[in-house]
Structure 1
């Protein structure tokens, strides 16, 4: 019984978007959402921390390795691409000026 109490869900949902934590894949209510690796990593970070601001530093640390560097322009590029992909789902990535980004629902 103790082990059952410790079970965690294997997916995270935000609106129509679901992240399967075991396969690290996204899907909507109708189809899978295929993303390039860095965009997937960024969206994964945002959906896991949904409702909270993710700082630019946390994004850079999450998306880079020791051999890799990431510019502020690259983060803007990934964010822009994701915004376009998420718009039809009624989701957006909002900027918290000077702090970072957070995942939000569109106010339609």
Structure 2
């Protein structure tokens, strides 16, 4: 009985980690598509509702595998903050020597 309980807890922990990673990647992807804050917050709340409605689903492994196929929705030209690495203002005004 101890082995099956341990296996169940390990599986549950990995599911939780996979869901957390999937949620963070989905939020970052949403931010790339909706640059304005009011649009992002609407999309993020809809995404959170979807995650919360499917919180107690028994077929969670299948749903996680489907959700991890997010690469087909990934934006090819993601939003980069102007002064960050890869942004258009990165090292524009360098310090004089």
Higher relative contact order (CA 8 A, sep 6+): 2
As a proportion of its length, which structure holds more strand?
1
Q: Which of structures 1 and 2 has the bigger CA Rg?
A: 2
Greater fraction of residues in helix: 2
- Establish whether TM, by shorter chain, passes 0.5: no
TM-score after normalising by structure 1: 0.27
